[in-house]
């Protein structure tokens, strides 16, 4: 498994890279799994279950992409760590459900190292806290290969989430790690996240 930190990216560039890696993986399923880590410049993405009523007032200057992943609409921006695993699930003898559980567990263990109680809710995907949803999951699996992935809010500007109904969930707010621990260094969080990726994936 190779982990590549590609820094801050425009969403379209990261999507093209994911698809290129996916295509390579289809041609050679035994090739090395690749985990991309990035921060995006502001962007909204609409998953397969997005509805018009989930869109409230998206600013005209922020791009919107309709994509193949599961889930509804979400926001990506600076202060949020995004992880895209291009992984062959059969090679790891994993079901899609187990893979999603593992992605959630990576985020749960990461926030727990900062004293934040992260947990799952039966009716939703992602990671939740007493102050709201902090970790997001939206993947696509084709030919047993995953792409798209997860995002973890560290200190992202939450005002952008108020322009939508994040993940189609009306009754649970969005929160940051910084809501619990004040100023938190994103690079430090990233290193702990990477450690948990190596342990669990």
User: Catalytic annotation on 175?
Assistant: no
From the list 167, 169, 186, 193, the catalytic residue is 167
How many helices, marked H, and strands, marked E, lie in the chain? 4, 10
Q: 31: which residues sit within 8 A by CB, 6+ positions away? A: 24, 25
Residue 134 phi/psi, 5-degree rounding, is -120, -25
Residues 95, 25 contacting (CB under 8 angstroms): no
Please tell me the distance from the alpha carbon of residue 130 to that of residue 162, in angstroms, as a whole number. 19
- Maximum CA pair distance of the chain? 46
Q: DSSP secondary structure string, 68-99?
A: SSSS-EEEE-TTEEEEEEE-BTGGGT--HHHH
DSSP β-ladder status, 124-129 and 132-142? antiparallel
Q: Catalytic residue positions?
A: 167
């Amino acid at each position: 498994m190779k982990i590549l930190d590609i820094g801050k990216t425009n969403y379209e560039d990261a999507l093209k890279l994911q698809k290129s890696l996916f295509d390579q993986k289809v041609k050679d399923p035994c090739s090395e799994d690749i985990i991309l880590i990035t921060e995006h410049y502001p962007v909204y993405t609409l998953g397969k279950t997005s509805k018009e009523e989930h869109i409230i007032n998206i600013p005209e200057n922020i791009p919107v992409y309709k994509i193949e992943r599961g889930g509804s609409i979400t926001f990506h921006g600076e202060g949020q760590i995004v992880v895209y695993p291009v992984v062959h699930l059969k090679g790891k003898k994993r079901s899609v459900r187990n893979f999603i559980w593992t992605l959630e567990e990576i985020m749960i263990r990461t926030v727990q190292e900062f004293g934040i109680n992260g947990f799952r809710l039966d009716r939703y995907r992602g990671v939740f806290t007493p102050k709201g949803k902090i970790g997001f999951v939206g993947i696509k699996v084709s030919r047993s290969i995953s792409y798209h992935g997860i995002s973890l809010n560290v200190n992202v500007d939450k005002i952008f989430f108020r322009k939508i109904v994040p993940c189609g969930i009306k009754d649970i707010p969005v929160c940051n790690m910084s809501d619990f621990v004040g100023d938190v260094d994103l690079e430090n969080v990233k290193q702990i996240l990477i450690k948990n990726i190596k342990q669990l994936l």
